[in-house]
Structure 1
């Protein structure tokens, strides 16, 4: 067999092996996540995205007709999902699972040069398991944008470590990486921190390859342009239709008006996130100390890159300072990558034991967390009970004062406000940060006499109690409860308007 034929044969074998890895990770993704398929109450965020996507297909304009801070790309994604038919719930969950499986595959591709294909596949499974620990079992934004960021990481790593690289190859890989970061930014802007790290790494690769200031300048201009292009295109479109101010305030300015949480609450959130993070972080520490990646030719460079990527993701998590559990989701791709070498550590079969423990503990934790979440937030039966109570009583717009905005979608109700995400009008931290005065907007909604109001009791401690008093007084004066759906530790209540005597 000639050398060229042998190389072709080895290339075909490698592709077949990676196809097998992809199929394994796809099957794992569906096995891990299917328990939540059809659940409309996984998280309030994602059922709001589905509502916005659906209303966009009926002419609603984000930031103008429906207000939120997320980039337009996320809503366009959910609008596309609505074209798949049905009510969109299973559809968005299946699409999110495909994104998760694809991300796990990219995680495996990044990890393979420092851990081998089998350990890298385990790392992909670990990524899938980690998602479910902090609210990522459905369609949270990072479940989608992690794929773009991981793809950018793979392209950046290729530019840094490919032996036969040249200046044109670095430019091409950089263009792929920054184009993907541009897409990620239009799903959630927190990808900017990982994007900055990868941009700096690519600049170094460009300089090291060409030693040309002119070439570096051209590369930087190209890459920055590609990273910013989707956001600039969205901004230009809003400017062309006369709504640039609305776009800028929602996307970039309003976050600065939002107040922070108390230290006690932040500590509680960090402690909750730590429960999910401490095991993979400990695995990364062991991988750094035991150095199993040194066995591989590209191991040191790959592990160093993965650690730096993880550091950038942690910086993004830390800078915003809100520490909600699902904000940790972007950490899991670099965490899974950097865990991978540990699974190859040979003495006393330590790597095999570590891999087995991480997969087993992750599977058990996922099952427990899914069950707890469904008891706390409800499932399809609870949502059906709510919808069935609301539909026959609708004589105008529903008002979800405290609850899931998906109720607007499933009941077919009109929106009584351009702020259908309930937290924007009831949370104290959002006071003065959503473009309207909370008390004024709630009074306006109630003045429209919504035929049905939905509440979730008891009232959380972080609500604006001046607004709570307004709503509770109106509920007492002109509404009666017609449906109570009990949950663990709380209850959903449907109120019907009855004209006071």
Structure 2
């Protein structure tokens, strides 16, 4: 048994090395590249590891992942509309790691490091310093944005997507490529446009000896991950809930106001990548099919990030990998340019990181403080009626109601679009020991705030008034109500 494990580890190591190795870089250079990128990546993100919450969604993914391990069925026992893949990622990590917010930082960091390594492998037949530059660009631009510092689904799906794309350009690897793309799709649906483009490209580039049918069969591995999920829900008897969450509800949840496309924001965020990419393309003067594909993937990523009408900043992180590859100067342009650009990136990071450290130092760790107050009062189950729901994690529990994220029942738009059953919420929270309310409007006056879902607020006010005395916390705008 021991020899089999050793052989498996050896085979995995060889596969890993062969994946990144080319005639320019050998094993020592690849390992050193990974180490240096890991050091850069950690330097870009270390100050976030002790921060409990950088984004609401990351907490929802984590709680859903823990729920899976405890036998809860996503979309049935615990509810949110995100694809099941992101919940499974955290469920797998929680098999061996503790139910703690710091685990979010480590799993996202490792996936981002993997993404940087994969993207750097696209810099074909280039020197070590140019691969380092490409990987550093990925790490930098993910860490430059607040949504990139958090454990957003982009970090996870982009790793599997670009791993799949890298196999796409390898001989006889279409099946592996589209299977990995299927995993990425199961984490974030916006890669649909990338997959369509790659499928059409594969059909167009097929050799005369390869039949149309064979290429289609090889690409059919894409449906294995999502098909497996559908089959599991079918045999559990919950296929309707699966499709309601992922298709019907998602189609309802559209913005009800016109929002202009954020050209200015995109330019301010990514102008160094656009500029370097433009300079590199001009200096190389060789617009190969490979570069055309990268430009096309930039455009499909832009389409995927914007087609919903919700221009969330983290959607546009999908632009970083192809732009980082295009922005890496070709060897004949001179490796000194890569070193100079790398120096500018690291120099600019000093001001960016100082701003983040200053901002984060002024944000109270709401959930941790509330959890500590609850534990001082003897502990018990909590219901997060408003505010950050990481309180559940610190108290080592799941949400007592199936609607994990508070915005689903407190926001009138979300509650309407998702047909939230408020009566069911109150049945599920019956008997909880504590109720958390963190909002700029006090709960006692919440019936006067029309931005809140009054169908939820009114019965909550009655419940609290009759059963839960108020306990103020050291946090302004945060109160605990307890029996």
> What TM-score do the two structures reach when normalised by structure 1?
0.81
Question: Structure 1 residue 182 and structure 2 residue 182: aligned?
Answer: yes
Question: Structure 1 residue 458 and structure 2 residue 433: aligned?
Answer: no
- Match among 292, 304, 320 for residue 316 of structure 1: 304
2:37 is matched with which residue? 25
Question: Secondary structure at the residue paired with 2:274?
Answer: helix
Which whole-Å CA distance do the structure 2 matches of 1:302 and 1:117 have between them? 21
Which whole-Å CA distance do the structure 2 matches of 1:233 and 1:108 have between them? 32
Question: Secondary structure at the residue paired with 2:436?
Answer: strand
Which whole-Å CA distance do the structure 2 matches of 1:13 and 1:135 have between them? 33
Question: Structure 1 residue 210 and structure 2 residue 222: aligned?
Answer: no
CA contact (8 A) 1:287 1:342 kept: yes
Which whole-Å CA distance do the structure 2 matches of 1:390 and 1:235 have between them? 40
After superposition, the Cα gap between the structure-2 partners of 1:84 and 1:177, relative to the gap in structure 1 and judged at 3 Å, is: same
After superposition, the Cα gap between the structure-2 partners of 1:270 and 1:64, relative to the gap in structure 1 and judged at 3 Å, is: farther
After superposition, the Cα gap between the structure-2 partners of 1:485 and 1:420, relative to the gap in structure 1 and judged at 3 Å, is: farther
Q: Which moves more between the two structures, 458-467 or 27-36?
A: 458-467
Which whole-Å CA distance do the structure 1 matches of 2:134 and 2:346 have between them? 9
- Match among 278, 287, 297 for residue 280 of structure 2: 287
1:125 is matched with which residue? 136
Alignment of 1:281-430 (within 5 A): 281-288=274-281, 290-292=282-284, 294=286, 300-341=288-329, 345=333, 352-373=339-360, 375-376=362-363, 378-379=364-365, 382-393=366-377, 397-413=381-397, 415-430=399-414
- Match among 454, 466, 471 for residue 482 of structure 1: 471
CA contact (8 A) 2:100 2:394 kept: no
After superposition, the Cα gap between the structure-2 partners of 1:57 and 1:13, relative to the gap in structure 1 and judged at 3 Å, is: closer
More helix by share: 1
Deviations 1:323-353 (A, max 9, x none): 1122222221112112112797459x76554
1:153 is matched with which residue? 165
1:436 is matched with which residue? 420
Question: Secondary structure at the residue paired with 1:432?
Answer: helix
Deviations 1:37-93 (A, max 9, x none): 132112111122111111221111111000112222221211111122333322232
2:10 is matched with which residue? none
Using the TM superposition, give the Cα deviation of residue 177 of structure 1 relative to its aligned residue in structure 2, in angstroms: 1.4
2:76 is matched with which residue? 64
Question: Structure 1 residue 46 and structure 2 residue 31: aligned?
Answer: no
CA contact (8 A) 2:83 2:187 kept: yes
Deviations 1:346-392 (A, max 9, x none): 59x7655444323432453244235424534x44xx43321111235
CA contact (8 A) 1:393 1:496 kept: no
Deviations 1:266-316 (A, max 9, x none): 45977555532233223323333x23364xxxx733322221111111110
- Match among 217, 222, 226 for residue 221 of structure 1: 217
1:198 is matched with which residue? 198
Deviations 1:237-277 (A, max 9, x none): 100110000011112221111130534xx459775555322
CA contact (8 A) 2:435 2:480 kept: yes
Using the TM superposition, give the Cα deviation of residue 144 of structure 1 relative to its aligned residue in structure 2, in angstroms: 1.2
Deviations 1:174-207 (A, max 9, x none): 112101101101212222222222222222222x
Using the TM superposition, give the Cα deviation of residue 232 of structure 1 relative to its aligned residue in structure 2, in angstroms: 0.6
> What TM-score do the two structures reach when normalised by structure 2?
0.84
After superposition, the Cα gap between the structure-2 partners of 1:229 and 1:366, relative to the gap in structure 1 and judged at 3 Å, is: farther
Using the TM superposition, give the Cα deviation of residue 425 of structure 1 relative to its aligned residue in structure 2, in angstroms: 1.3
Which whole-Å CA distance do the structure 2 matches of 1:395 and 1:271 have between them? 48
- Structure 1 stretches lacking a partner, 5+ long: 1-8, 160-168
After superposition, the Cα gap between the structure-2 partners of 1:62 and 1:292, relative to the gap in structure 1 and judged at 3 Å, is: same
Question: Secondary structure at the residue paired with 1:176?
Answer: helix
Using the TM superposition, give the Cα deviation of residue 475 of structure 1 relative to its aligned residue in structure 2, in angstroms: 7.7
1:78 is matched with which residue? 90
- RMSD (CA atoms): 3.1
Using the TM superposition, give the Cα deviation of residue 226 of structure 1 relative to its aligned residue in structure 2, in angstroms: 0.8
CA contact (8 A) 2:440 2:477 kept: no
2:46 is matched with which residue? 34
Using the TM superposition, give the Cα deviation of residue 406 of structure 1 relative to its aligned residue in structure 2, in angstroms: 2.2
CA contact (8 A) 1:125 1:359 kept: no
Deviations 1:439-468 (A, max 9, x none): 54555567x264322223225999444346
After superposition, the Cα gap between the structure-2 partners of 1:35 and 1:363, relative to the gap in structure 1 and judged at 3 Å, is: same
Question: Structure 1 residue 138 and structure 2 residue 150: aligned?
Answer: yes
Which whole-Å CA distance do the structure 1 matches of 2:377 and 2:89 have between them? 32
CA contact (8 A) 2:433 2:482 kept: yes
Q: Which moves more between the two structures, 86-95 or 352-361?
A: 352-361
- Structure 2 stretches lacking a partner, 5+ long: 1-20
CA contact (8 A) 2:179 2:221 kept: yes
Which whole-Å CA distance do the structure 2 matches of 1:222 and 1:364 have between them? 48
Question: Secondary structure at the residue paired with 2:122?
Answer: helix
Using the TM superposition, give the Cα deviation of residue 480 of structure 1 relative to its aligned residue in structure 2, in angstroms: 4.8
After superposition, the Cα gap between the structure-2 partners of 1:282 and 1:458, relative to the gap in structure 1 and judged at 3 Å, is: farther
